[in-house]
Amino acid sequence: MYAPLAGLELVASRETEASVATSATKNSEEADLVLQRLQTISEAQRILVLVRQYMHQWAGSTRARVHSERHLSEMLGPDAVTVFSAGGTLLDELSKAVDNLRPGMQATAAIQSRTALLTLGRELYKGDRVHTSPITGEVHQVNSEKHALFAFLDDLWTQVEPDRKLMIEKAIAVVDAAHDLGSKAKNPTAITSEEAEVAVRHVYAIARAICFAGGFPPREEAQASA
């Protein structure tokens, strides 16, 4: 990329020098030809600069994406990239929570994981305000995002094959714990780094269950409703 640009600059410099050195003997037609060549070289230089800028941006964004995907996989396992891709913007806060699992940021990570949990309930459940669990038979008022998530997971449980039901049941089992840890983090000194990591892993387990049960909407539909 740099070699062609340098070459064009050298050619332009020589054309300019030749034009000045022989300007006294050139006729108008020859001068026009030199001017056209200089303009062509100038335009080629401009295009190469734009291409170089684009390549720099592409390389930077690709490096950041690869780093992010590797971090997710190292932290949450090999399915993480698939889960976050399927969840899209619904998992934005959970992605931030993973990034904040570092010293001094544990409270922020736990709160963000709780926000992601509530987002899942609010955005995914479209059912009635009164819900009967197909698993326990209990009747619940769906009056919060957390209860909406319970109801959504219940409904998802009825739709999946038998070999997927245990995965949904395990997700249901950690909803309360994930929510409570996120609430606990509202007092930054009350939650440990270990607890914050548990909160993030719980919410990821819920998202993973939804992903592999086909519970996330298609990306086009999710973007249209955003």
**Mean pLDDT, rounded, for 103-123:** 97
**Mean pLDDT, rounded, for 77-82:** 94
Sign of the CA dihedral running 42, 48, 52, 55: positive
Quick one: pLDDT at residue 220?
A: 58
Helices of type H across the chain: 2-21, 28-76, 80-87, 92-99, 106-124, 145-159, 162-184, 193-212, 219-225
pTM for the structure as a whole: 0.72
pLDDT at 93 over 60: yes
Quick one: pLDDT at residue 43?
A: 86
pLDDT at 16 over 70: no
pLDDT at 139 over 70: yes
pLDDT in tens, 155-177: 999 999 999 999 999 999 999 99
CA 43/CA 170 separation, integer angstroms: 62
Q: Among 17-31, 46-60, 159-173, 199-213, which stretch is predicted with the lowest mean pLDDT?
A: 17-31
Residue labelled with tokens 């080629």: 44
**Mean pLDDT, rounded, for 193-216:** 97
**Mean pLDDT, rounded, for 172-198:** 97
For residues 135 and 168, the answer to whether their CB atoms sit within 8 Å is no
Most confident of 3-12, 17-26, 138-147: 138-147
Quick one: pLDDT at residue 165?
A: 97
CA 84/CA 175 separation, integer angstroms: 18
**Mean pLDDT, rounded, for 194-203:** 97
For the chain, domain boundaries? 2-67, 77-225
CA 174/CA 181 separation, integer angstroms: 11
Quick one: pLDDT at residue 41?
A: 83
Q: Among 72-81, 166-175, 212-221, which stretch is predicted with the lowest mean pLDDT?
A: 212-221
pLDDT at 15 over 80: no
The percent of residues above 90 in pLDDT, for the chain, comes to 63
- Token pair belonging to 88: 């899209």
What residues contact 169, with CB distance under 8 A and at least 6 apart?
Answer: 135, 157
For residues 18 and 34, the answer to whether their CB atoms sit within 8 Å is yes
**Mean pLDDT, rounded, for 94-107:** 95
Quick one: pLDDT at residue 143?
A: 95
Q: Which residue has the higher pLDDT, 48 or 111?
A: 111
pLDDT at 213 over 70: yes
